[in-house]
Amino acid sequence: MIEIHWPLLLTQIATFLVAMFIIWKWFWGPLTRLLQQRSQKIAGDLERAEQGRREIDVLEAEYRQRLSQIEEQARRQINEAIQKGNQSKEEILQEARMEAQRILEKTRMDLALERDRVVRELRKQMADLSLAAIERLLGQGVDQKTQKRLLDDFMLEVEKAEKKP
Amino acid sequence: MNAVPEAVEFHLPFDASVLMSLLAVLIIGVFSWLSARQMLQIPRGAQNVMEWILETVYHFADEMVGPQARQFYPLFAMLFVFILISNLMGLIPGLFSGTSRLSTTVGLALIVFFSTHYFGIKEQGLWKYVKHWFGPVPVWLKPFMLVIELISELARPLSLSFRLFGNILAKEILLAVLALLVIIFLPSGNTIQELLSLVPILLRPLIILLGILVSIIQAFVFTILAMVYIGGAVRSHEGH
């Protein structure tokens, strides 16, 4: 058991080497190549995933930048629109105020004219009525000169009465 | 083993260790065939186990030998698996470990020994390879260094072979002695001896568990040392 048999030893060496050659050639060699291919594939996949992640990061940064630009632009446009709106509003209000003022003045003018016309009309009617009343009171006609004098006196009284508050 | 003359090995016209080695090779071959049969990208079953073993061996080889390790993958993988299977075969009743025979272990150690020097010379050239045996010492010390280095180199296959042989033989003898004690004590008719037979009956499963551990460790140690020796030979010796 302790001694060495050289033929046996050589047989063992030959057995080992032949078995190693066959098993490596048929089984372990292909399996090792498969392992290497798999580890290369995994490394490649990881690299691609990492590259994809980096690209996503870049795209995300670009997207965020563009989004902030768009938001800024939108904010600026909204502000401009608000300013323009306010400006338009002021202009419209100004125009409306002017128009209202114009209408008011025209109305006032019309009212004044109308009032004057009514006053004149009233005066005329009152004069006619007054003359008719005088004629009835006196029982006779009044000459034109007297008529004018009475009318002027009356109108003077009326104007005085109008001027009293 | 001598205690059981009915064992198969005593009736064979040749040393049964060769038969055990062939059986180990057959087991490795069948398991390897099963593992490499389908070549799945996502391994399962035997392929998974075989890949795990090979990757473990390759990992250690890469660490010990360096970039040149790839060319030694077949040797290291076969050394580890062959020694492991041979060691474990001794735990199966009726079989014994081929590695419990000195002829086997010396054969394996010689393969490592010659591989070490062959690949060392191949990688570095004869002069550079021989030069490192003289060491970085003054000229008058160089002959002593050569003697020391040669003794060291020759001691390597001895230590490799005797370590494996001694451990595995010890495991086999211990299991055989425990089996023998049961065979002697149990049918003795003596109550004390019958009770004593309980000790080996209880102890034997524990020793088998220990045997599994020893089998794995010894296969690992042998392979790692082979990697260290070959790695040391093929790498540059500038740092020595």
Among the partner residues A11, A21, A23, nearest to B32 by beta-carbon distance: A23
The per-residue pLDDT for range A18-41, each reduced to its tens digit, is 999 999 999 999 999 999 999 899
Residue whose entry in the numeric block shows the structure tokens 């003596």: B190
- pLDDT at residue B7 greater than cutoff 70: no
Give me A53's structure tokens: 């992640």
What is the number of H-type helices and E-type strands within chain B?
8, 0
CA distances from B162 to B50, B80, B82, B88, B175 (A): 28, 17, 17, 18, 20
Q: A25: which DSSP letter?
A: I
Between positions 16 and 55 of B, the ones with CB within 8 A of A are 17-18, 21-22, 25, 28-29, 32-33, 35-36, 39, 41, 47, 50-51, 54-55
8 Å CB contact of B111 and A13: yes
**pLDDT-based confidence at A140, cuts 50/70/90?**
low
Q: Ranked by mean pLDDT, which of A5-9, A87-91, B190-194 comes out on top?
A: A87-91
8 Å CB contact of A3 and B110: no
Among the partner residues A1, A24, A31, nearest to B35 by beta-carbon distance: A31
Contacts with A126 (C-beta within 8 Å, 6 or more apart), sequence order: A154, A158
Residues of chain A above pLDDT 90, percent: 62
The per-residue pLDDT for range A41-76, each reduced to its tens digit, is 999 999 999 999 999 999 999 999 999 999 999 999
When the pLDDT of each residue in chain B is averaged and rounded to a whole number, the result is 88
When the pLDDT of each residue in chain A is averaged and rounded to a whole number, the result is 88
B98 contacts on A by Cβ (under 8 Å): 12
- Range scoring the smallest mean pLDDT among A20-29, A105-114, B5-14, B26-35: B5-14
Give me B8's structure tokens: 């198969």
pLDDT given for residue A159 in this prediction: 77
CA angle centred on A68, ends A62 and A71, rounded to 5°: 140
pLDDT given for residue B15 in this prediction: 75
Nearest to B4 by CA among B164, B216, B179, B163: B179
The per-residue pLDDT for range B21-58, each reduced to its tens digit, is 999 999 999 999 999 988 888 888 899 999 999 999 99
Shortest distance, CA A60 to any CA of chain B (angstroms): 34
Nearest to B101 by CA among A47, A9, A97, A25: A9
Among the partner residues A5, A22, A35, nearest to B103 by beta-carbon distance: A5
Mean of pLDDT values over B119-138: 86
**pLDDT-based confidence at B1, cuts 50/70/90?**
very low
Q: A19: which DSSP letter?
A: H
pLDDT given for residue A46 in this prediction: 94
Chain A residues within 8 Å of chain B (Cβ atoms) = 1-5, 8-13, 15-17, 19-24, 26-32, 34-35, 38
ipTM of the complex as predicted: 0.86
Check if the beta carbon of residue B165 is closer than 8 Å to that of residue B102: yes
Helix axis angle, B46-65 to A29-138, nearest 10°? 100
Please indicate if any CB of chain A lies within 8 Å of the CB of B58: yes
**CB pairs under 8 A, 24+ apart, for B117-122?**
B117/B153, B117/B233, B119/B71, B119/B72, B119/B230, B119/B233, B119/B234, B120/B230, B120/B233, B120/B234
**pLDDT-based confidence at A143, cuts 50/70/90?**
confident
- Neighbour count for residue B149 (Cβ, 10 Å): 15
3-state secondary structure of B53: helix
Cα gap A134→A148, rounded to integer Å: 12
CA distances from B173 to A4, B1, B88, B182 (A): 19, 7, 14, 14
Give me A5's structure tokens: 């048999």
The domain locations on chain B are 17-234
